[in-house]
Amino acid sequence: MDDHRLPVLVGVGQVRANRKRVVAEAREPLALILEALDVAAADASAPGLLAAADAIYTVRVASWAYDDLSRVVADGVEATPRHRVDSPIGGQWPVRLLDQAATRIAAGESSVALLVGGEAAASAAALHKAGVDPVTDLGWSARPGGPAPIDAADLGSPAMQAAGLLLPTRVYPLYENRLQADLGLTPTENAEWSARLYADLSAVAATNPIAWNTEALDPAAVGTVTAKNRLVCEPYPLSMNALPFVDQAAAVIVTSLAAARAAGVPAEKIVHLNAAAGVDDIGDVLARPKLGRSTALADALTGALDRASVSAADLDLVDIYSCFPIVPKLAGLALGLPRDAVLSVTGGHSSFGGPLNSYSLHALARAVERIRRGDRLALVHANGGFLTYQHAVVLGSTPTGFASGPVQARTGGLSVADAGQLGDVDLVVETATVEHDRDGAPRQAFVVVSTEDGVRAAIATPSGDPAAAATWSLDALPPGTATHTGRRVHLRSADGVPTLVVGG
């Protein structure tokens, strides 16, 4: 193996700031990112690596807008990179950019790369509440400044948007409730599984100095619905949703093995990149053949393991993106792991924190620290969109060469129709969820249905009609049933407005 083309991780830095949301301590994401880079350079025992960077990769910041973040970062570390990449929105990008950086090093096109991301959503919210202007009062960046805009294309397909499936909080529960049906679990059994899973994650976060919430919770505290732990979309209470209002940043320094040695990085600091794989699912959730599994997720995980010539049983640690319980559940099933496997080294999105697109940078940093302490193999996974974009990387303590390839894209899928155009027709329920108000009352239900010939559609009950929404609650299941999946319903369409009539 050519040391000049062997990619390695040599420095990691993480920052947690303004935990108490104090106005005077609010710093913009760029400041946190630059601090994380300083920590990473010190971690590598090679401060000169920052200015030597020939490539800079930045994960999209959502809490504050930057015109050209990679250029600003380059200026901040006095680097003159030949390659600069600023990612779009998506939680897959920390691992996907790492794959790109490693591939470029393996091709001999780069020798030192910086990979960064960060958020200051907690401070931004505190400043807004206090009536403080971050630009004029605190000097935050004004190019362009303000919260980053969201592209309509990131809110799902036209069919999803028409049915109100705009938010992850509404879509991921659809997968969860379908998985429960497919596995033959009762709602109680499935909820207990989720509660145990997230309680275990909170115990990991309790040992992580960068975690936002460091209280180890028991399953009852995670799973019991209370005024403070309200239902969001069934079956998830707030404790099972990602926590985006955090101030956290992370940085990773990637070099060739030759560059690491030339910079004086101690041998015990070096962690090897073994393999990576990325798979994109069909963009329209409604067109995906399976709503209780993710083929793209399974293929990314097994693809990375296959390229590294290892199995799940060989892994010492795994970090799976955990914005909602369904993601680690699906990953564990794909990897053949037991249901009680703890699939995070950070503590997960609800306890460690969910700094939007950059969460998996923290997972990479934590995995590097674990390998340095004696673990041999790590698998880190990143997820974006609505279980849409998947990427996984295998890290190791010994060099094997780096294996990767182009991101694969799943194509085809089922036919999707606008429910308002189906007319009066009998349908079968594929999955459903109910969104609740802050006071706990059902607000709106979202139901995915299919025709006898396999055409999919999604229908939302009228917003603000608690009686209609409550029809689809897990608490409203007919006696002797454990799921709405498979129920026969009739669609009536008056003036293009579809209404489902439950047939029992």
Could you read off the pLDDT of 187-213 as tens digits, one per residue? 999 999 999 999 999 999 999 999 999
Residues 389 and 466 in one domain: no
- Please choose, from the candidates 167, 66, 72, the residue with its C-alpha nearest in 3D space to the C-alpha of residue 385: 167
- Please choose, from the candidates 173, 225, 176, 217, the residue with its C-alpha nearest in 3D space to the C-alpha of residue 199: 217
Confidence of residue 495 (pLDDT cuts 50, 70, 90): low
Q: Residue 179: pLDDT above 70?
A: yes
Residues 350 and 432 in one domain: no
User: pLDDT, tens digit, for every residue of 124-147?
Assistant: 999 999 999 999 999 999 999 998
pLDDT at residue 504, rounded to an integer: 44
For residue 30, tell me if it sits in a domain: yes
H-only helix segments in 56-145:
69-77, 93-106, 121-130, 134-138
Residues 320 and 423 in one domain: no
Beta strands 271-280 and 389-396, pairing class: antiparallel
Confidence of residue 108 (pLDDT cuts 50, 70, 90): very high
> How many domains, the chain?
2
Q: Residue 343: pLDDT above 90?
A: yes
pLDDT at residue 431, rounded to an integer: 98
Which secondary structure element, helix H or strand E, spans residue 110, and what is its range?
none
Confidence of residue 439 (pLDDT cuts 50, 70, 90): very high
Q: Give the phi and the psi of residue 160 in degrees, each rounded to 5.
A: -65, -45
For residue 300, tell me if it sits in a domain: yes
Q: Give the phi and the psi of residue 459 in degrees, each rounded to 5.
A: -135, 135
pLDDT, average across residues 81-106: 98
Confidence of residue 155 (pLDDT cuts 50, 70, 90): confident
CATH code of 429's domain? 2.40.50.840
pLDDT at residue 7, rounded to an integer: 98
**Cβ contact 484:431 at 8 Å:** yes
| Rounded Cα gap, residues 102 and 275, in angstroms | 9
Strand partners, 394: 275, 379
Residues 402 and 490 in one domain: no
Residues 429 and 317 in one domain: no
Domain that holds residue 118: 3-143+244-409
User: pLDDT, tens digit, for every residue of 225-277?
Assistant: 999 999 999 999 999 999 999 999 999 999 999 999 999 999 999 999 999 99
pLDDT at residue 168, rounded to an integer: 97
Confidence of residue 424 (pLDDT cuts 50, 70, 90): confident
**Cβ contact 402:273 at 8 Å:** yes
Beta strands 425-436 and 442-450, pairing class: antiparallel
Residues 315 and 443 in one domain: no
User: pLDDT, tens digit, for every residue of 365-380?
Assistant: 999 999 999 999 999 9
Amino acid at 289: P
Q: Please tell me the total number of residues recorded for the chain in this structure.
A: 504
| Rounded Cα gap, residues 27 and 63, in angstroms | 12
H-only helix segments in 19-164:
29-43, 69-77, 93-106, 121-130, 134-138, 158-162
pLDDT at residue 501, rounded to an integer: 84
For residue 152, tell me if it sits in a domain: no
| Rounded Cα gap, residues 131 and 23, in angstroms | 10
**Cβ contact 92:382 at 8 Å:** yes
Amino acid at 92: Q
Q: Give the phi and the psi of residue 492 in degrees, each rounded to 5.
A: -115, 140
Residues 129 and 9 in one domain: yes
Which secondary structure element, helix H or strand E, spans residue 443, and what is its range?
strand 442-450
How many C-beta atoms lie closer than 10 Å to residue 257's C-beta?
Answer: 22
Q: What is the pTM of this model?
A: 0.97
Which of 354, 382, 409 is where one domain is finished? 409
For residue 67, tell me if it sits in a domain: yes
Q: What is the largest CA-CA distance in the chain?
A: 73
**Cβ contact 256:105 at 8 Å:** yes
For residue 369, tell me if it sits in a domain: yes
98-112, 149-163, 369-383: least confidently modelled range: 149-163
| Rounded Cα gap, residues 264 and 282, in angstroms | 45
Residues 254 and 308 in one domain: yes
CB neighbour burial string for 266-277, b if at least 16 within 10 angstroms, e if fewer: eeebbbbbbbbb
CATH code of 351's domain? 3.40.47.10
